[in-house]
Homo-oligomer: A and B are copies of this chain.
């Protein structure tokens, strides 16, 4: 089992702002992908769509102002059954996000791509919280021929 890990910090952010960006359809659409739909309660499924495909995430746990955990129930084979965990906490002027995409079976080339791409999306989340404007798909940063 191998994991993708990231950490970003939002200057002058608040845990509430970050939690909203991770647990509401409007918040998620403002940094990850315009095409976000679904149910945000525990047990609900969020549907994220991108030009090349998409992911369905079941909401496993909500920890108000502290984090959220999803399980991937639809999308590429390599993603099915993996979990995505977000941890939020305040550290002085910065709101810190610890991100883990866990349970990959093999460190395939697609996992390398997803790691870099998650990093770029986390910078979009950071921009959203700090400036009010993220760069969700289809206006996301292209990192390679795989988009």
Contacts and interface: CB of A to CB of B under 8 A. Distances in A.
A8 B111 contact: no
Interface residues of A, number: 34
A119 interface: yes
B8 A94 contact: no
Interface stretch (A45-53, A58-66, A120-128): A120-128
Interface stretch (A16-24, A34-42, A68-76, A137-145): A137-145
A33 B145 CA distance: 26
Given A98-B109, A109-B98, A119-B116, A143 B5 contact: no
Given A119-B120, A120-B119, A120-B123, A112 B144 contact: no
Given A2-B3, A9-B143, A123-B141, 13 more contacts: A2-B2, A2-B5, A4-B115, A5-B107, A6-B112, A6-B119, A7-B109, A7-B116, A11-B145, A96-B145, A98-B112, A99-B112, A116-B119
